[in-house]
Amino acid sequence: MYRSNNHAPLVLVADDDRLIRVLVRKSLEAEGFRVEEAADGHEVISAFYMLQPDLIFLDVIMPGQDGFCICKQIRSMDSGDAVPIVMMTGLDDHESVKKAYEAGATDFITKPLNLALIGHRAQYVIRSSRALENLKQSEARLVDAQSIANLGSWEFDLVSGEIYCSREVYNIFGIEPGNSRITHEVFMDAVHPQEKDAVAERMRKALMEDSNFTIECRIMTQHGRERSILTKARINRDETAKATWVVGFIQDITERKEVEEKIKQLAYYDTLTGLPNRILFQDNFSHAISFAKRTKTQIGILFVDLDRFKQINDTLGHAVGDKVLQEVAERLNAGVRKYDYVTREPVEGIDAEIARFAGDEFIIMLKNVRDHFDAAKVAQRIQDSLAMPYTIDGTEIIVTPSIGISLYPVDGERLEDLIKFADIAMYHAKELGRNNFQFYSRSLDSTAKDHLILEGQLRNAVKRNELFVVYQPIMQIPSFEISGIEALVRWRHPEHGVLSASHFVPMAEETGLITEIDEWVLHTVCRQIKAWQDRFDRTLEVSVNVSGRNFKKRTLVETVVKTLQNTKIEPERLKLEITEGVLINNDEYVVSALNSLKGMGIRLALDDFGTGYSSLGYLRKFPLDILKIDKTFVRDILVDHDCTSIITAIIALARSLKLDIIAEGVETKDQMELLLQKGCEKQQGNYFSPPLSLADLEEFLQHGITDTEDPAPGKNHSHTGPAAPV
Ligand code: C2E
Ligand code: MG
Ligand code: MG
């Protein structure tokens, strides 16, 4: 019961029957309600408008507008949907009850009225409508809160497959709730392709064994936007522990992620150049160490400092200095990242980390370093690339780097030590006149440098005419006639004297210089063949070694054709020696190149046979004429039974494939005889003659081997002096 005062609920009693109004009023007032009356539709509307009652008792039958119309009208008014309206209908008037609800009534009572209960009825209706109102409000608040927090709630009935999602979930996925429903498939479809598998696996696992789970992933909304979401859920299980029901929330955490990313960027990267900073670098170094341990490789730390950078800042201003640093960072990236130590050529995929530590100091970490040469190569490349002029705002600026290098694990195991040592080495580089690089350990310095210097010199050797060709005869046994000649390249080095091919050909292959060298040798030899043809009136076959690099560059056939044309020799005079590596790389070009060479009439020899992968199967595929047994087998033929068997097998193989066979590196009479006995009649080696200079070869050609008993070089030329081995 209400205590009747201004706060007591106000009930509007609307009936055209005055007596009923009075009776109802009395009953309600007795329960403490305040009561107002209305006699027709007009009065009801204006009383509702003026008084905003807490409850309306509304008679169905009234003059003018009936109760249904009035009810509808109130419901359409401002705040008219909240007020409870109880309609008074005739007993058993089912039609009216139905119509009352359709018009928006909250409840109904029947006439004749039970006045004793009407107060209780009023109380009940008001209470429940207030409860409903509160519920509505708190729901609205929840929706507001969810939308402010970008947080939606969902429930997943695993038994029926039904998913209930709050409005905000739809917002997060960019789906209009009216248009489609969120289902498990819709959710999984939205998950970012790169994360789908992981998310599905995480959910599957959680449903099997967890009581709750948290998933953070990226989704693509229906509008095609990428968002980051976080969902946390609790799994309910039935008595058999089967998951039946999952309740959770989902939150759009895109902004948080972006902020985190920004913070990470600020924390781990240098803002000017975008390069990692010291902290991230340290982190990467730890990973690099485990890699180095696993692969037994080294790590190179390069400390790069720009020479006289302060001057640029002071004279041209910081803005220009900043641009130089940005350009340096770019050049470092370009110069370092794509470097393959194996071919010593730039390629994709090799790992190097660059960081800016301070001002004009950059640190580079090279992973997968085999030796100091690798580090030296990169240092050289960086030096060359950074020393190129910089054009900043139209002004050309020269900045050179001084680089110090330390190596893990030889110089130290901790990053700080390695950086310190690289720093010391860098100062040493500055002392030595800047724009150079130095290793922390000086002894390594000279070896690595020697190699680089030699490489630089080799580049000029062709131009400076320092290369020449020597010729080693290939003998026909037992007649000791000259069956052919192999041309071998030599380098007359300004300081080191004559270097044989094995001293610089590998380096020339690494650097790619070999194609130029091979071209030169081919040309020189072809010219020589022509000269011999004219002079000796005798057909000599000369073999020239060609590197696999020529096949990679796909220039070989063209070069050979051009050279034959220029020197006017017959292709039959020329043999080309290739190694197994060329065939292993069995690509289309190799097959077609060999076929066209063969088609021209050039003979093809497979050099160093037995040392490579020796898959005999491939021999058939290529148009070869000759197999050359590698000198390592010949060397051991008398002492190592395996070698003898290998040679026997090679000879048998050559026969079955109808290939000619040449043994190289024959040094003794016994080797010669055994080889002959096995059926190898063509032999080459110091026993007959070392590679000879042109003059000595010509001498050899004229006089041949006179003493067939022991045709060792020292003896057969006794009348002209020994042929000088070259
Ligand atoms: P190769 O084609 O197998 O040449 C034979 C090598 O054995 C030559 O070494 C030769 O001097 C050496 N030799 C000759 N007789 C004997 C002997 O009785 N005992 C021993 N132990 N060695 C002997 P060289 O001239 O140092 O050449 C090494 C390799 O370099 C050659 O092996 C060849 O693969 C390559 N090469 C030589 N000249 C050229 C060239 O012009 N172009 C290319 N691409 N490679 C070349
Ligand atoms: Mg050869
Ligand atoms: Mg060989």
What DSSP letter does each residue of 633-694 carry, written as one string?
HHHTTTT-HHHHHHHHHHHHHHHHTT-EEEE----SHHHHHHHHHHT--EE-STTT---B-H
Nearest to 291 by CA among 370, 374, 367: 367
Is the predicted pLDDT of residue 715 greater than 70, yes or no? no
What is the model's pLDDT at position 104? Answer: 94
Closest ligand 1 atom to residue 687 Cα is: 18
Mark 541-561 as b/e (b = at least 16 C-beta within 10 Å): bbbbbbbbbbbbeebbbebbe
Is the predicted pLDDT of residue 410 greater than 70, yes or no? yes
CATH architecture of 149-258: 2-Layer Sandwich (3.30)
- From atom 37 of ligand 1, which residue's Cα is the shortest distance away? 488
Reported as type and span, the H/E element at residue 381 is helix 372-386
What is the model's pLDDT at position 1? Answer: 58
Domain ranges of the chain: 10-143, 149-258, 271-455, 509-688
What is the model's pLDDT at position 372? Answer: 82
Q: Cβ(583)–Cβ(624) under 8 Å?
A: no
Map 288-354 to HEC letters: HHHHHHHHCCEEEEEEEEECCHHHHHHHHCHHHHHHHHHHHHHHHHHHHHCCECCCCECCCCCCEEE
* Distance separating alpha carbons of residues 471 and 489, to the nearest angstrom: 9
Q: Which two tokens stand for residue 80?
A: 């008219």
- From atom 10 of ligand 1, which residue's Cα is the shortest distance away? 691
**Helix, strand or coil, per DSSP, at residue 624:** coil
- From atom 7 of ligand 1, which residue's Cα is the shortest distance away? 665
Q: What is the pLDDT of residues 467-511, one digit of tens each?
A: 999 999 999 999 999 999 999 999 999 988 999 998 899 888 877
- Please give the C-alpha separations between residue 285 and each of 98, 330, 437, 510, in angstroms, as whole numbers: 79, 21, 22, 29
What is the model's pLDDT at position 340? Answer: 47
Out of 458, 468, 492, 502, mutate this one to test ligand 1's pocket (max ligand atoms within 8 Å of CB): namely 502
How does residue 337 score in pLDDT terms, banded at 50, 70 and 90?
low
Is the predicted pLDDT of residue 717 greater than 50, yes or no? no
Mean of the per-residue pLDDT values for the chain? 86
For tokens 């640029």, the residue is 312
CATH architecture of 271-455: 2-Layer Sandwich (3.30)
Closest ligand 1 atom to residue 547 Cα is: 44
Read off the pLDDT of each residue in 54-64 and give the average, rounded to a whole number: 92
Q: Which amino acid is at 455?
A: E
Task: Considering every ligand atom shown, identify the ligand nearest to the alpha carbon of residue 576 and give its number.
Answer: 2
What is the model's pLDDT at position 338? Answer: 55
- From atom 35 of ligand 1, which residue's Cα is the shortest distance away? 501
**Helix, strand or coil, per DSSP, at residue 90:** strand
* Distance separating alpha carbons of residues 144 and 150, to the nearest angstrom: 10
Question: DSSP class of residue 237?
Answer: E
Is the predicted pLDDT of residue 466 greater than 90, yes or no? yes
- From atom 19 of ligand 1, which residue's Cα is the shortest distance away? 665
Q: Give backbone dihedrals phi and psi of 409, rounded to 5 degrees, phi first.
A: -95, 0
Nearest to 574 by CA among 534, 626, 522: 522
What is the model's pLDDT at position 3? Answer: 54
Percentage of the residues of the chain whose pLDDT score is greater than 70: 91
Task: Considering every ligand atom shown, identify the ligand nearest to the alpha carbon of residue 611 and give its number.
Answer: 3
Out of 520, 664, 670, 683, mutate this one to test ligand 1's pocket (max ligand atoms within 8 Å of CB): namely 664
Q: What is the pLDDT of residues 116-161, one digit of tens each?
A: 899 999 999 999 999 988 998 888 888 888 778 788 899 999 888 8
Question: Given phi > 0 = left and psi -120 to 50 = alpha, else beta, which region is 420?
Answer: alpha
* Distance separating alpha carbons of residues 100 and 108, to the nearest angstrom: 8
Q: Cβ(674)–Cβ(633) under 8 Å?
A: no
Reported as type and span, the H/E element at residue 93 is none
Closest ligand 1 atom to residue 501 Cα is: 26
* Distance separating alpha carbons of residues 190 and 184, to the nearest angstrom: 10
Q: Which two tokens stand for residue 355?
A: 């960081």
What is the model's pLDDT at position 601? Answer: 94
Say which residue, 539 or 365, is predicted with more confidence: 365
- From atom 11 of ligand 1, which residue's Cα is the shortest distance away? 691
How does residue 712 score in pLDDT terms, banded at 50, 70 and 90?
very low
Ligand 3 centroid distance, CA of 486 (Å)? 10
Is the predicted pLDDT of residue 68 greater than 90, yes or no? yes
Is the predicted pLDDT of residue 714 greater than 50, yes or no? no
Question: Which residues make beta-bridge pairs with 472?
Answer: 486
Ligand 2 centroid distance, CA of 713 (Å)? 20
- From atom 27 of ligand 1, which residue's Cα is the shortest distance away? 501
- In angstroms, how far is the first alpha carbon of the chain from the final one? 127
* Distance separating alpha carbons of residues 211 and 468, to the nearest angstrom: 81
CATH architecture of 10-143: 3-Layer(aba) Sandwich (3.40)
Is the predicted pLDDT of residue 9 greater than 90, yes or no? yes
Nearest to 204 by CA among 174, 243, 237: 243
Read off the pLDDT of each residue in 223-232 and give the average, rounded to a whole number: 91
What is the model's pLDDT at position 160? Answer: 87
Q: Cβ(605)–Cβ(580) under 8 Å?
A: no
Question: Given phi > 0 = left and psi -120 to 50 = alpha, else beta, which region is 366?
Answer: beta
Ligand 1 centroid distance, CA of 186 (Å)? 70
Closest ligand 1 atom to residue 546 Cα is: 44
CATH T-level fold of 509-688? TIM Barrel (3.20.20)
Ligand 2 centroid distance, CA of 608 (Å)? 7
* Distance separating alpha carbons of residues 604 and 621, to the nearest angstrom: 13
What is the model's pLDDT at position 91? Answer: 65
- Please give the C-alpha separations between residue 501 and each of 162, 400, 521, in angstroms, as whole numbers: 79, 36, 12
Q: Cβ(247)–Cβ(233) under 8 Å?
A: yes
Ligand 1 centroid distance, CA of 523 (Å)? 18
Ligand 2 centroid distance, CA of 607 (Å)? 5
Read off the pLDDT of each residue in 670-688 and give the average, rounded to a whole number: 95
- From atom 16 of ligand 1, which residue's Cα is the shortest distance away? 665
Closest ligand 1 atom to residue 469 Cα is: 41
- From atom 25 of ligand 1, which residue's Cα is the shortest distance away? 501
* Distance separating alpha carbons of residues 54 and 86, to the nearest angstrom: 11
Read off the pLDDT of each residue in 574-603 and give the average, rounded to a whole number: 87
Q: Which amino acid is at 288?
A: A
The ligand 1 site (C-beta within 6 Å) comprises 472, 488-489, 500-502, 505, 514, 518, 521, 545-547, 577, 607-608, 631, 664-667, 685-686, 691
* Distance separating alpha carbons of residues 477 and 669, to the nearest angstrom: 11
Is the predicted pLDDT of residue 705 greater than 70, yes or no? no
Read off the pLDDT of each residue in 346-354 and give the average, rounded to a whole number: 60
**Helix, strand or coil, per DSSP, at residue 706:** coil
* Distance separating alpha carbons of residues 207 and 245, to the nearest angstrom: 10
Say which residue, 444 or 642, is predicted with more confidence: 642
Ligand 3 centroid distance, CA of 355 (Å)? 47
Percentage of the residues of the chain whose pLDDT score is greater than 90: 46
Please name the residues in contact with 643: beta carbons below 8 A apart, sequence gap of 6 or more. 632, 633, 634, 635, 636, 637
Question: DSSP class of residue 707?
Answer: -
| Cα Rg, the chain, nearest whole Å | 48
Quick one: 702 exposed, middle or buried, by C-beta within 10 A (0-12, 13-18, 19+)?
A: exposed
- From atom 6 of ligand 1, which residue's Cα is the shortest distance away? 665
**Helix, strand or coil, per DSSP, at residue 546:** coil
Read off the pLDDT of each residue in 107-120 and give the average, rounded to a whole number: 90
